[in-house]
Amino acid sequence: MIHFNSSVSSPLYLSHLQELNADYSNYRNKIFSQRSLSILANRYPKSDLFLCSSATDALEMVALMLNIQVGDEIIMPSFTFVSTANAFVSHGATPVFIDVDPETGSIDASLLVQALSEKTKAVVLMHYLGICPNISQFQSFCQEHQLYLIEDAAMGFGNEIDGRSLGSIGDFGVVSFDITKQLSAVQGGLLLVNNKSFQQRAKQIYHIGTNRDAFEQGEKPYYEWVDVGSKFQMNELNAAFLYDQLTQQDELLSTRTKMIRLYYDQLVQLEEEGFLRILLSTHMNEAVHGFVIVLPSPQIRFTLMSFLKENQIEAMFHYIPLHSSEMGRKCGRFIGGNRTDELATTILRLPVHLNLTHAQVLRVCEVIHSFFKKAVDDETSGE
């Protein structure tokens, strides 16, 4: 079976654990979080960085920092993961879902004005597959209307636009280090606080609503409860795993990019012949999160997915639209037409992970070619 995802290996994890366990102070001083943060600071030099237990948690920190209240409106995609919405909805905000831009998988910037109201507080921009070619349009819109821009760069580790890493451009950014992502802590996330006016609060919220950070810096004789917050910090076992991945990040990212490029080279002919569309095909040399094709109809997607399964290949759909979900219908409103539904019912994600071999990628592509060849043969023979 060619699996869609796989476990991630961490050659030095066990020796890191030994080092960690050698002394209790290593846990207290969070040695692997600190080492990971110093590597991450090279990629995000202007952001305040907080390692969290997930990107979901990082988004929840953003909602606390913004004091989200009942009645606030947050503009966000419908085509995204539930965490993007939950963070704000759990504080009583109304999600204003925007239709997708089918070329990028992110929100359609031309619909922002229609979504705006005097209650709008922020825009959450999700970078689908970790790519955002038109972020400047969102920045100008937010500046013009005095809204916060939150980048959901869960899939964006390793990608930049105009020399700036995704996640470090808006007021806040989040990155995921889940096991499915470009780099993994098995489970983990990163919050980037780019708007300096939130620097102080972020530290308090991160430390369960206390001024522990000031205490650790020697600025306070003890720490106490000063704000709301929760235990958002990444645990050291995950940080040790992440550290190992970060020390190999260039190699890991480039292996992934080569794999995606191989898919592209093998399948571009089918795109030219009109059998499928390769999403974000002009970004195949970047650290794209995955390889995604769009089929001409839900029926073709279904039959191709079944055909791949018969051939022992796991392929996946993505994001069930939030606006029409049970919860989305209850708490949000939607701006747009049917492009989110169209994309969600025709998209297919092919296996991409670091244990996938060159030969397996070729095998997946060969099966896809044979699927379309058979369809053409059946049509010519009148079946």
State the residues that interact with ligand PLP by CB under 6 A: 54-56, 80-81, 83-84, 126, 152, 154-155, 176, 178, 189
Q: What is the dihedral of CA 207, 211, 216, 222, to 10 degrees?
A: -120
Give dist(CA 156, CA 105) in Å, integer: 13
Closer CB to ligand PLP, residue 177 or residue 275? 177
Closer CB to ligand PLP, residue 178 or residue 213? 178
CB of 57 to ligand PLP, least distance (A): 7
Complete DSSP assignment for 39-89:
HHHHHSTTSEEEEES-HHHHHHHHHHHTT--TT-EEEEESSS-HHHHHHHH
Closer CB to ligand PLP, residue 85 or residue 116? 85
CB of 61 to ligand PLP, least distance (A): 12
Closer CB to ligand PLP, residue 82 or residue 354? 82
CB of 358 to ligand PLP, least distance (A): 27
CB of 376 to ligand PLP, least distance (A): 35
Residue 237: count of CB within 10 angstroms of its CB? 16
Closer CB to ligand PLP, residue 76 or residue 361? 76
CB of 287 to ligand PLP, least distance (A): 15
Q: Which candidate, 277, 268, 185, places its Cα nearest to that of 234?
A: 185
Lateral strand order in the sheet of 73-77: 48-52, 189-193, 172-176, 148-152, 120-126, 73-77, 94-98, 333-335
CB of 187 to ligand PLP, least distance (A): 7
Q: Do residues 50 and 232 touch, judged by C-beta distance below 8 A?
A: yes
Q: How far is C-alpha 103 from the chain's CA centre?
A: 17
Q: Which candidate, 308, 291, 295, places its Cα nearest to that of 352?
A: 291
Closer CB to ligand PLP, residue 176 or residue 210? 176
Task: Count how many residues are written for the chain.
Answer: 383
Closer CB to ligand PLP, residue 84 or residue 233? 84
